[in-house]
Amino acid sequence: VIDAPTRDEGALRALVPRVLAGLVRRGEDFHDAEDALQEALLEAMRVWPEHPPRDPRAWLTTVATRRLVDARRSEAARVRREETTDAEPRPGPTEEGDDTLFLLFLCCSPELAPASQVALTLRAVGGLTTREIADAFYVPEATMAQRISRAKRTLHGRRLDSLGDLAVVLRVLYLVYTAGHAGRVDLATEAIRLARQLTLATEEPEARGLLALMLLNHARLAARFDAEGRIVPLDRQDRRLWDARQIAEGVRVLQSALALERPGRYQIEAAIAALHDDAATTEETDWPQILAWYDDLVVLSDDPVRQDPAAMLGRAVAVGHVIGPAAGLRETDRLREVLGGRHRWHAVRGHLHELGGDLAAAADAYAEAARLATDVAEREHLVRQAARARAAG
């Protein structure tokens, strides 16, 4: 029982935010504490297999503290020369909240660019190594190391008593999730893990909405690609491959969020995902209810065509299924100016043309979508769709 973390990387990583938050609350600088903890983790991987600690969390805290003391000692001479009087420890934050939430707010500081927020969150809260994060985003390790170190410099010496914006935290976690499953590190699972921790720390319904949305989408993962790695669109997926347990959890989390009666975009998107998950066959999809949720989603923006074109595009598909393909296409016309240069707009029109039986127009739209696609798997999927519609037409 005691040495479980040595064999379970997940358990070890789960300790990271708690140890780090403990150090920072004690008054250590985030920048230095994070460095020291990374060194302690490397030390743990080396030492624990032979000598498992009795209390892994205390062990990490002790080793990281020793590093901090060592670093301060070598720094002390320089500080004395400069006759700095700032000797007392910085005051820690007064609020007592969950460690994860505390660190998430710190890593998702609005002062940082989104790419840096994501990288820092994965390292300081997720406990991933720089190498793992670099692999997940297909950049060289040196590039990611630089990105993280710049982000930490930005936060250097920052007072930690002002909490940030939960909306930014949610967006960062969603970015981590959508960064996908392709890399060697499964970021989608990591994002779900972090979102789950977040929901333990806050009652905020949108945090639960985000967790539900991730679970309800992730449940379809096994059906989303075939054995050759080809994309399988929702209407052709083998629904027996969907993860019923994850869907059930997603629905439960969503219901607990909706019960608080403070709707938001993640809850609404989760509700739409739940309706797709709930259909035993694609024909049984409850499109009228999906359309009703999209109506709720688009009114969250003053000018949805410009501010939330993705929601408008999703709504156009729902309109195509509820009212008819021609009506759906008319909805997309309103988006031409904003989205006409994006592959998804053409792909949706291809889908609506196909729904209406105009296979030649569908093939042209899919081909144009393929030309504009920026993802290899997606482009190949769209070329296939175009060739298939062309051959059938």
Partner 1 sequence: MPKYLLLKHYRGGPEQHHPFPPMDQWAPADVEAHFAFLTHLGDLLRESGELVDVQALTPAQTWVRYGGPDAAPVATDGPHPEVSDLVAGWYLVDVDSRERALEIAAQISSEPGPGGGPLYEWIDVREVMSHAPSQVTEPA
For helices 205-218 and 265-278, the axis angle rounded to 10 degrees is 30
For the bound state, the minimum distance from the C-beta of residue 385 to partner 1, rounded and expressed in Å, comes to: 9
> Are 309 and 303 spatial neighbours (Cβ–Cβ below 8 Å)?
no
- Give the SS3 label for residue 250: helix
Question: Which residue, 147 or 342, has its beta carbon nearer to partner 1?
Answer: 342
Q: Is 380 a binder of partner 1 (CB under 8 A)?
A: yes
- Work out the number of other CB atoms within 10 angstroms of the CB of residue 54: 8
- Report in angstroms how near the CB of residue 138 gets to partner 1 at its nearest: 10
Count Cβ atoms within 10 A of the Cβ of residue 50 and give its class: 0-12 exposed, 13-18 middle, 19 or more buried: exposed
> Residue 44, Cβ neighbours under 10 Å: how many?
21
Residue 183 and residue 137 in contact, taking contact as beta carbons nearer than 8 Å: yes
Cα 110 from Cα 344, distance rounded (Å): 29
Region near partner 1 per CB under 8 A, out of 13-21, 143-151, 281-289, 360-368: 360-368
Q: Residue 175 and residue 152: Cα distance in Å, rounded?
A: 20
Could you list the beta-strand ranges (E) of 31-114: none
Interacting residue with partner 1 among 198, 311, 361, 386 (CB under 8 A): 386
Binder of partner 1 out of 110, 283, 367, 378 (CB under 8 A) = 367
Interaction residues for partner 1, span 191-230 (CB under 8 A): 228-229
Tell me, by CB under 8 A, how many residues bind partner 1.
20
Q: Which is nearer to partner 1, 251 or 365 (CB)?
A: 365
By C-alpha distance, which of 266, 271, 215 is closest to 243? 215
Query: Of the two residues 184 and 262, which places its CB atom closer to partner 1 in the complex?
Result: 184
Q: Which two tokens stand for residue 22?
A: 């403990």
Stretch that binds partner 1, among 117-125, 295-303, 321-329, 384-392 (CB under 8 A): 384-392
Among 115, 139, 260, 372, binds partner 1 (CB under 8 A): 372
Smaller CB distance to partner 1: residue 188 or 370?
A: 370
**Which residues of the shown chain bind partner 1 in the complex (CB under 8 A)?**
228-229, 363, 366-367, 370-374, 376, 379-380, 383-384, 386-388, 390-391
